[in-house]
Amino acid sequence: MNRPLAYTPSTPLGRKLCSYMVLTDEERNFLSELERNVTKLPARADLLQQGERYGTVRVMRDGWAIRHKALPDGRRQVVNFVLPGDIIGFYCNLFETADHGVTTLTSVEVASFAPDRIFELFKRFPRLAAALAWSGAKEEAIIAERLLSVGRRTALERTAHLIVELLKRLSLVGLADGGRFILPVTQEILADALGLSIVHINRTLRRLRDIGLIEVAGQQITVNDDKQLSSVGQFDELYLHLIRAPKRLEHALDQAPDRSRAMP
Amino acid sequence: MNRPLAYTPSTPLGRKLCSYMVLTDEERNFLSELERNVTKLPARADLLQQGERYGTVRVMRDGWAIRHKALPDGRRQVVNFVLPGDIIGFYCNLFETADHGVTTLTSVEVASFAPDRIFELFKRFPRLAAALAWSGAKEEAIIAERLLSVGRRTALERTAHLIVELLKRLSLVGLADGGRFILPVTQEILADALGLSIVHINRTLRRLRDIGLIEVAGQQITVNDDKQLSSVGQFDELYLHLIRAPKRLEHALDQAPDRSRAMP
DNA sequence: CGTTACCTTGATATCGTTCAAGTACCGTGG
DNA sequence: CCACGGTACTTGAACGATATCAAGGTAACG
């Protein structure tokens, strides 16, 4: 492991952005300052309630959460899963009011900072701003793919697709090992993520188990045959945009970086 | 009409951003430069094909288009409608490859510019960068709401919801008048946007007509009772984030704007 | 005036929901 | 140690919303 300690940020956000581009000292310092204020919360806590005014920006350091939207009568859609390193409503914080809620699934560790710092970031660190824009675009791509799933894939396909997606995303942050990962999620939440009923999710998981594609032991999911599971889910990882450092990002920002005004 | 000509950009993008904040001369100039290179295209032209490498960033000046994703077997989901003033894959252009296609529905006028200019914009005009981030977040919010529709609303609710959404969005850019607007869309596209079959969209529209909530004459839709249609669709305009200038955006960016380095 | 693209409607099929009941697993308190 | 209540999972049976199949209609267009 190549790990020059001074240059590997210990914060999930820093680590995430590091995978996009080489950070300067100033940038790293700024990021770790952002993540200094850390809070712990239990499972099933609301980090944000639908309709609430935005307060602070949060970065998930450890644990899982969901972003979800609800209808007045209680029907609910899980929009996305928030995994370690993800930012909670970065751009949304530019809005006045939250159009979705965020709830923890496990006990979590989150860092919080004031929305003002976003503007500071835009003014002082254009490269970070662009990198965060990139990461925001990735989130949008994931949601669009989920829309495709819910709109056009069958229950079996959707479920297979989500399992593969989570496996890939967790692998990226070192939380899945050999097709095995912990899914701290009830079947109700799975149902709300996939636009299905609890009963049908249950039957669908059972089918996937019966075919032998996955194994379930408590919260632990084991993907036995990820090729076949991917093909059942018509999974094409294009949308995850995994390619590490988008060359054009790095390239364009590095020439004439105009560092003169950083940290005045 | 209050229209000090020198200060009202003639470009859709400029006009859009103007509604978020007061632009400086430099910012306005930069934007109109971006929109200088205009192309016209017929209906049913692909502005972008799924799997293609990104080339240019485009701004829709006039006309409609759709962003859509397809499965290998041809099933298709329309992710969003691109209306005048919308940017086509702004952040997506930070990716290497397109995970969705963009196809015109009408003849259109689009402005194109090189992706490099995005970085130039981030470096030289942090206020514009933040405003564009804001507008990107609005797009994500719209997609998330569509996910809620497709996942959790019934066919009737979904359809009502989409019609109200389009009415609101078109009103914003002056393209709807008294509940009446042109919807240049086949029922097939509506079906693909709402995750339904063509046949069922047809029946659902008929039901809305029978109840007397809408009238359809060719491509012209008239919403007779938008209150009731909104309530059928459980429409809550929160997600459109219509509030004109987010105060925190304007405020935070205006103090210490650090204009020294604009237009060096 | 035939072809094509789109809309419309009826009949039938199916996927997924709802209702219902039972099970397994926990933590808690007697 | 056991009884209890709560939460989540599981499975069967009936139902229903939406899909699919099929056929015909209309308008635009070469």
pLDDT digit string (tens) for chain A, length 264 residues = 444 444 566 677 887 787 778 889 999 999 999 999 999 999 999 999 998 887 789 999 999 999 999 999 999 999 999 999 899 877 777 788 899 999 999 999 999 999 889 889 999 999 999 888 888 889 999 999 999 999 999 999 999 999 999 999 999 888 998 999 999 999 999 999 999 999 999 999 999 999 999 999 999 999 999 999 999 999 999 998 876 555 666 666 665 444 444 333
Interface of A with B in 207-226 (CB under 8 A): none
Whether CB of B197 is under 7 Å from strand C: the answer is: no
Quick one: pLDDT at residue B188? 98
Quick one: pLDDT at residue B83? 94
**Cα B16 from Cα A56, distance rounded (Å):** 27
Quick one: pLDDT at residue B219? 96
Chain B environment of A252 (Cβ under 8 Å)? 115-116, 118-119
- Residue B123 has, within 13 A of its CA and on its CB side, a CA count of 19
Count other Cβ atoms within 10 Å, centred on residue A227.
10
Nucleotides of C under 7 A from a protein CB: 5-11, 15-20
Q: What residues pair up with A214 in beta bridges, in sequence order?
A: A223
- Tell me, what DSSP letter sits at residue B54? P
**Cα B103 from Cα B48, distance rounded (Å):** 7
Inter-chain residue contact A123 with B243, CB threshold 8 Å: no
Tokens encoding B220: 């012209």
Task: Return the residue of A nearest to B237 by Cα.
Answer: A99
**In the block, residue with structure tokens 């490099």:** B116
Nucleotides of D under 7 A from a protein CB: 7-13, 17-22
**Cα B204 from Cα B192, distance rounded (Å):** 14
Q: Do A20 and A137 touch, CB atoms closer than 8 A?
A: no
**Cα B46 from Cα B191, distance rounded (Å):** 20
Q: Which helix (H) or strand (E) holds A87?
A: strand A87-88
What is the helix, strand, coil percentage profile of chain B, to 5? 45, 20, 35
- Amino acid in position A128: L
**Cα B242 from Cα B230, distance rounded (Å):** 16
| A87 in reach of chain B (CB within 8 A) | no
Q: Going from the N-terminus, what domains does chain B have, and what CATH number goes with each?
A: 1-151+246-264 (2.60.120.10), 154-233 (1.10.10.10)
Q: What is the pLDDT along chain B (264 residues), one digit of tens a residue?
A: 444 444 566 677 887 787 778 889 999 999 999 999 999 999 999 999 998 887 789 999 999 999 999 999 999 999 999 999 899 877 777 788 899 999 999 999 999 999 889 889 999 999 999 888 888 899 999 999 999 999 999 999 999 999 999 999 999 888 998 999 999 999 999 999 999 999 999 999 999 999 999 999 999 999 999 999 999 999 999 998 876 555 666 666 665 444 444 333
> Can you give the distance from the CA of residue A86 to the C1' of nucleotide C2 in angstroms?
60
Q: Phi-psi bin for A242: left (phi > 0), alpha (psi -120 to 50), beta?
A: alpha
Chain B environment of A127 (Cβ under 8 Å)? 122
Inter-chain residue contact A238 with B97, CB threshold 8 Å: yes
**Cα B192 from Cα A148, distance rounded (Å):** 10
Q: Do A166 and A181 touch, CB atoms closer than 8 A?
A: yes
Tokens encoding B29: 């100039």
Whether CB of B198 is under 7 Å from strand C: the answer is: yes
Q: Do B68 and B89 touch, CB atoms closer than 8 A?
A: no
Tokens encoding A185: 């999620």
**Cα A39 from Cα B12, distance rounded (Å):** 43
Q: Which of B63, B106, B240, B61 is nearest to B167 (CA)?
A: B240
> What is the dihedral sign for C-alpha A87, A91, A94, A98?
negative
Count other Cβ atoms within 10 Å, centred on residue A184.
15
